[in-house]
C-alpha cells in the first residue's frame, strides 16, 4: 500500500523560549529528533511556533543539516516578500498526486524579538490552494489552534485533511467538517497516528464507514474461518444436510453484500472515500529500531555531557555531603534531610532491608541511562522533602542533589528526619500511605500500581 509519512510540527522544542543554560542541551536534543525524523522517511514537517524557539536561522540550518523539508506558507521575514520556507510540496503516492501544505500558528507572546513574523491564514491560504488545485488530495499541516482549523475547513472545500499539531494535544478521532478531516495525534511522541485511506475520484469522505466496514470485514473473516473448519471436518454430503453450516453460508452471503454495499455506497452513486484511523501507542515494550535507538542513545549521552559540564561550571559553593557541617550551603528545604546513611547506626535492620530494594538503586538507574542530569527525570529518582513541582523549581532543589539523597531514600517515605536522628525520642518520623507512593508511581510511570501488593515489597521489617 503506498504511504507517506508527515509530521505536523512542534517536534523540536518544548518551550517557546529557553533559559540560557538550557539552550545547548535543547538544541542537541532537537538535532537528534531531526535526524530520527529524517531517517524514518518523513516527507515534510510542519512548522509550529515552538519550532522557532531558537529563531528562523537555526531552524533553517537544522533542516539543511538533517535534510528535512519544513513547510510554511505564512512565515515571512521582516524584510522581504517571499516566505522563508517552502509553502507546500507535491508528491506522488501510488497513482495519487498529493499536495502537502504548511501553515504556522500564531506566535505565542514572547519576550524575544524576532526576525520573522507570521501572516494570518486569510492572507496566504487561498493563493496557495490555487497553486495546488490540480492535486488529487490536499493535506494541510497546521499548528493553528483548533477553532481556526475548523474555520479553515468550513471555508475551503478542497482541503481533504488537516493534521493539527500542538504542544499539549491529545489523540483526537478525525472529525469531518465540510469534507475536511480534522486530525490530531497526541504530542510528545507518545503515539503514532495512522490514517488508512481508500481515495477515489469522488474526493468525498464517506461518513466514518471505515470503522463499520472494518468490523463487517472482521466478521466475514470469522465466518469464513468457521466455514473452513467445518469443511475440513465433514464431507460435502454431510454438510449439505447440516443446519448450522447452511445457516453460516446464509450469514456469509449477507455479510458479503454488506461489505460490498459499504464499499460502493448503497444507492449506486460513486463510492465515497473511506478512512480508518488508529493511534499506535509507542510503548517501551515495542521492539526498538536499531538505527533510531542508536541516535536516541547518542543524543542522550551528549545532552547528559552538556548538562554535566553546565553543572560543573555553576561551581556551587556546596561541596560534599548534606550530613556534613557545611549543609547550610544547600537550599533550606534540603537542610531538614540527613540521608539514609545517618539511620544506619540505630536502624541497621531496616537499612539492610532498604539496600535490597530497587528504591536504593533508583539513581544508578538514571546514571545507566545517561539521564542523571535531566531535570525531567530526577525528581522521582531522588529523596526530597517535597514533591510539589512548583516548590521544587522555586527552591532549586534539583541542581546538585547531595549524594546521600540520590535514590529513593528513607525520608521519601518517612519524611525529613534530621530532627529525629538528632533527638529520636522527641520527633517521630511519618509513615507512608498510598498517596505518598502515587507522587512517583503515576499512571504514566507505573500503570499497574497496586498499593497493598507493592507495599509488601518495600515496607521495612520490624526491629
- Residues at the site binding ligand HEC, with contacts judged by CB under 6 A: 338, 340, 342-343, 345-347, 350-351, 354, 357-359, 361-362, 365-366, 369, 371, 374, 376-377, 379-381, 408-414, 417, 420-421, 424, 428-429, 431-432, 436-437, 439-442, 445-446, 454-455, 457-460, 462-463
Report the alpha-carbon distance of residue 383 to residue 338 in Å, rounded: 10
> Which residues lie below 8 Å from residue 7, measured CB to CB, with a gap of 6+?
37, 42, 44, 45, 46, 141, 165
| Min dist. Cβ of residue 396 to ligand HEC (A) | 17
382: which DSSP letter?
B
Q: Which is nearer to ligand HEC, 28 or 381 (by Cβ)?
A: 381
| Min dist. Cβ of residue 354 to ligand HEC (A) | 4
Our measurement of the distance from residue 412's CA atom to the centroid of its chain's CA atoms, rounded to an integer in Å, reads 29
| Min dist. Cβ of residue 23 to ligand HEC (A) | 19
Q: Which is nearer to ligand HEC, 183 or 384 (by Cβ)?
A: 384
Report the alpha-carbon distance of residue 46 to residue 165 in Å, rounded: 8
Q: Which is nearer to ligand HEC, 224 or 403 (by Cβ)?
A: 403
Q: Coil, strand or helix: which one is 264?
A: helix
Q: Which is nearer to ligand HEC, 195 or 377 (by Cβ)?
A: 377
Q: Could you give the count of Cα atoms lying within 13 Å of 22 in the half-sphere of its Cβ?
A: 15
273: which DSSP letter?
B
| Min dist. Cβ of residue 232 to ligand HEC (A) | 45
| Min dist. Cβ of residue 32 to ligand HEC (A) | 14
Q: Which is nearer to ligand HEC, 249 or 355 (by Cβ)?
A: 355
Q: Are strands 137-142 and 161-164 parallel, antiparallel or unpaired?
A: parallel
Q: How far is CA 391 from CA 22, 48, 351, 370, 436, in A?
A: 20, 31, 29, 25, 16
Q: Give the total residue count for the chain.
A: 463
Q: Which is nearer to ligand HEC, 101 or 337 (by Cβ)?
A: 337
Q: Which is nearer to ligand HEC, 46 or 416 (by Cβ)?
A: 416
Q: Which is nearer to ligand HEC, 56 or 437 (by Cβ)?
A: 437
Report the alpha-carbon distance of residue 313 to residue 327 in Å, rounded: 20
| Min dist. Cβ of residue 50 to ligand HEC (A) | 19
Q: Which is nearer to ligand HEC, 229 or 391 (by Cβ)?
A: 391
Report the alpha-carbon distance of residue 378 to residue 359 in Å, rounded: 13
Q: Which is nearer to ligand HEC, 240 or 428 (by Cβ)?
A: 428
Q: For the packed helices 23-39 and 290-314, what is the interaxial angle rounded to 10 degrees?
A: 180
| Min dist. Cβ of residue 363 to ligand HEC (A) | 8
Which DSSP string do the residues of 159-208 spell out, in sequence order? --EEEE--TT---EEEEEETTEEEEE--STTSEEEEEEEE--TT--B-SS
Q: Which is nearer to ligand HEC, 312 or 442 (by Cβ)?
A: 442
| Min dist. Cβ of residue 362 to ligand HEC (A) | 4
| Min dist. Cβ of residue 387 to ligand HEC (A) | 6
> Which residues lie below 8 Å from residue 34, measured CB to CB, with a gap of 6+?
11, 12, 62, 63, 65, 66, 68
| Min dist. Cβ of residue 288 to ligand HEC (A) | 13
Q: Are 347 and 411 in contact (CB under 8 A)?
A: no
Report the alpha-carbon distance of residue 107 to residue 53 in Å, rounded: 10
| Min dist. Cβ of residue 12 to ligand HEC (A) | 17
> Which residues lie below 8 Å from residue 262, measured CB to CB, with a gap of 6+?
209, 212, 213, 216, 274
Q: Which residues pair with 92 in a beta bridge?
A: 97
Give the dihedral sign, CA 231/232/234/235: positive
Q: Are 36 and 74 in contact (CB under 8 A)?
A: no
Amino acid at each position: 500500500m503506498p504511504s507517506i509519512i508527515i509530521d505536523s510540527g512542534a517536534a523540536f522544542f518544548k518551550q517557546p523560549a529557553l533559559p540560557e543554560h538550557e539552550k545547548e542541551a535543547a538544541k542537541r536534543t532537537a538535532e537528534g529528533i531531526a535526524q530520527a525524523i529524517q531517517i524514518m522517511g518523513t516527507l515534510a514537517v510542519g512548522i509550529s511556533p515552538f519550532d522557532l524557539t531558537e529563531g528562523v536561522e537555526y531552524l533553517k540550518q537544522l533542516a539543511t543539516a538533517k535534510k528535512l523539508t519544513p513547510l510554511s506558507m505564512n512565515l515571512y521575514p521582516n524584510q522581504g516578500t517571499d516566505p522563508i520556507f517552502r509553502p507546500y510540496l507535491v508528491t506522488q503516492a501510488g497513482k495519487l498526486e498529493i499536495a502537502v501544505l504548511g501553515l504556522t500558528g500564531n506566535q505565542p507572546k514572547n519576550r524575544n524579538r524576532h526576525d520573522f513574523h507570521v501572516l494570518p491564514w486569510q492572507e496566504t491560504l487561498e493563493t496557495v490552494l490555487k497553486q495546488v488545485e490540480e492535486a488529487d488530495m490536499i493535506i494541510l499541516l497546521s499548528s493553528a489552534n483548533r477553532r481556526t482549523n475548523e474555520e479553515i475547513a468550513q471555508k475551503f472545500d478542497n482541503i481533504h485533511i488537516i493534521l493539527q499539531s500542538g504542544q499539549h494535544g491529545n489523540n483526537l478521532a478525525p472529525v469531518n467538517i465540510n469534507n475536511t478531516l480534522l486530525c490530531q495525534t497526541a504530542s510528545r511522541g507518545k503515539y503514532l497516528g495512522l490514517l488508512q485511506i481508500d481515495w477515489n475520484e469522488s474526493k468525498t469522505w464517506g461518513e466514518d464507514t471505515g470503522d463499520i466496514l472494518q468490523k463487517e470485514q472482521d466478521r466475514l473473516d470469522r465466518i469464513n474461518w468457521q466455514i473452513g473448519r467445518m469443511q475440513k471436518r465433514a464431507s460435502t454430503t454431510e454438510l449439505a444436510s447440516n443446519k448450522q453450516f447452511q445457516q453460516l453460508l446464509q450469514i456469509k452471503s449477507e455479510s458479503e453484500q454488506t461489505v460490498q454495499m459499504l464499499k460502493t455506497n448503497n444507492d449506486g452513486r460513486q463510492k465515497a472515500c473511506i478512512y480508518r484511523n488508529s493511534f499506535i501507542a509507542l510503548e517501551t515494550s515495542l521492539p526498538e529500531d536499531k538505527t533510531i535507538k542508536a541516535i536516541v542513545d547518542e543524543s542522550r549521552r551528549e545532552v547528559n555531557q552538556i548538562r554535566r559540564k553546565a553543572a560543573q561550571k555553576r561551581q556551587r559553593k556546596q561541596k560534599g555531603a548534606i550530613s556534613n557541617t557545611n549543609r547550610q550551603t544547600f537550599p533550606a528545604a534540603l537542610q531538614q534531610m540527613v540521608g539514609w546513611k545517618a539511620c544506619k547506626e540505630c536502624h541497621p535492620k531496616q537499612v539492610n532491608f532498604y539496600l535490597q530494594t530497587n528504591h536504593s538503586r533508583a539513581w544508578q538507574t538514571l546514571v545507566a541511562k545517561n539521564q542523571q542530569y535531566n531535570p525531567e527525570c530526577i525528581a522521582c529518582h531522588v529523596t526530597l522533602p517535597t514533591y510539589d513541582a512548583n516548590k521544587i523549581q522555586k527552591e532549586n532543589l534539583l541542581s546538585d542533589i547531595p549524594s546521600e539523597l540520590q535514590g529513593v531514600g528513607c525520608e521519601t517515605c518517612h519524611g525529613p528526619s534530621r530532627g529525629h536522628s538528632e533527638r529520636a525520642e522527641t520527633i517521630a518520623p511519618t509513615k507512608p500511605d498510598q498517596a505518598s507512593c502515587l507522587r512517583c508511581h503515576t499512571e504514566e510511570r507505573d500503570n499497574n500500581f497496586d498499593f497493598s501488593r507493592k507495599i509488601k515489597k518495600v515496607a521495612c521489617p520490624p526491629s
